[in-house]
Amino acid sequence: MKKLLTSNGNKISSRSFDNTGNFSFSIKEHIDIEGVKYDPKIGILALDIAVRLSRPGFNIYVRRQHKATIGKHHKITPDEAKDFVTKEFGVSVS
């Protein structure tokens, strides 16, 4: 994840975050990722990265059997997601 964010310039738009704390961004060329070399057989690929953040215990909301509701304090807000990404990965959110 750190390599993907650094190849994006350590910047994410605040519009990339949704209401449940998930975010996504894109990389125009996969060769911008650190350690990846150009292969003429593959060419150049663009990547779209989607990240889902969840707290422990969130599985009860998405599992197939015995679903249960999640309290509103257990859900991740966009502000909490922005703070987490800034703190853990050193990304600036604009």
Q: Within 10 A of 21 (CB to CB), how many other CB atoms are there?
A: 21
Query: Phi and psi dihedrals of 3, rounded to 5?
Result: -65, -40
Residue 86 has what pLDDT?
Answer: 92
Residue 85 has what pLDDT?
Answer: 92
What pTM does this model have?
Answer: 0.77
Tokens encoding 7: 């190849």
Residues of the chain with pLDDT under 50: none
Residue 36 has what pLDDT?
Answer: 80
Residue 43 has what pLDDT?
Answer: 85
